[in-house]
Structure 1
């Protein structure tokens, strides 16, 4: 398979990943890499349940979290949690899924099809249709889970929350929608991060089309966004000019590395990504909507745009976490606690 290395801005916009250096995932039987992660299922506490299910012929790997004293004969609200671009369920998606389970929700965090521990070939497709179907698929599965009240299902999208917004336009089984550090993949792949690549849109689209042609001709799959984290020095990371990319390198490449998390995506995916936008038809969202983003995040503009365009609901809020950047909403206790408290109030009110 051919590897294509793009400029840092395009590369880092996906998130980061690699093979674990300190092997934190190996110390946890569920390979979770967030603080206070479950290491064993203890009676009367929050439990984790690795599950698999099929979605359009692809085997999906997911974790279901059940609340303390879970009783399948009772009825619980549920929340589907979608992971960031380049991330996997064992990282920040698992953190928030566990924290919400501590509040009494049944939650599910699944690896996207063609990514992580889920099946599907070629690997690392990042196509809006499939990423949106991932969320529909989580709703399908959790709706059948023992104890779930199907009238009280919410959705949470982290970073790649643009896909959760897209799903919510038609996913009326979801009664409340929230995002954390929302990243509009279509806009960034098309325009560049912070609209930095407006003068090369057609050129990059042509490269994506050429990559697809090669796939069809002889099966050669080209990949973009490859990063060798072991070859990157801390000094070179420190020189990265944006908080999202600099802190993302440290989060995914150093402190929260996981072997299933990868920067890489098929170059041909850009054909779909660059022609797509999470805010197109966003007025179709008529459910309660909460957009959470760091006050100091350089990705804040994407949540602000989505909030302004989401005219289909009057029950909406843009909550800016004081002092937080994009990546710090993933793991810094001070910010995570604030976000969980905000989510508790939001879902508690909208999923009664």
Structure 2
């Protein structure tokens, strides 16, 4: 799998687009705003920059893309008024892989500026927005050029499918049912990727620069529980049902693995300490119900809405392997499985929220 070319959210504004199926991600960003506000206020008061440089890593497209940026600028503008300071210029970098729908973002910039004007009283500093295609598992910005990095729901994706996972048969990612060697391979790939991510961001941040990272995770260090990728285990069930009916060949699913890893707090903390460029200021585990994808109400449409949430994120990867022709069939089956589980179980996503400061 060429991850850089196929790993992106569904673009555009169609029914299965990320733009129309990212309500849950927006709620997560709203719930974590106090942490971002504290961090951006801290870095601004410490540095008092005339130009404040911010990057959103894994920005995707749709209304969420500039939602966080609007909140950050609003917070800084309020602080400037408290301190009787002139507003800084804002340099905003929106990063994602090249397959991301950047055109959709650019079309929304004027709406973003109008929205910002309604939220902030008085004149606002100039705002310069740049699209930044490329993998964040490598350098993407000049040395010591950024004050603040933010990433939400992106860092659980890996740079590649781990090697030596050929025996992960019947599964589509690292799950509680995967063989031990597969679990180790996924964890080791996460270690390599996250260490490289930290190294690159440390080079790009100014001294004392900050990061807030939100990613899918798990609360337990035990990889055998079903916290890790339960929602994808249910997707695998839909695919395996299609294998039993002869719609998908068995070797197709046996050769398919999604590059995703949901670390525990101890795993994340260990990599930060080992890499050594950052101080971990804050780390918490939070949970959000799958129902957030449908406005927190469980109803007859809930299975469909959660299936659309997953489809918006996973369809390009699935289509590249299984073909576009069966996508509707896969997600029609999947929504029934989800609806059944949501009616019987507590179904939540677990997230890790981390705040870091560059040490040198």
TM-score if structure 1 supplies the norm length?
Answer: 0.33
Larger Rg computed on CA atoms: 2
TM-score if structure 2 supplies the norm length?
Answer: 0.33
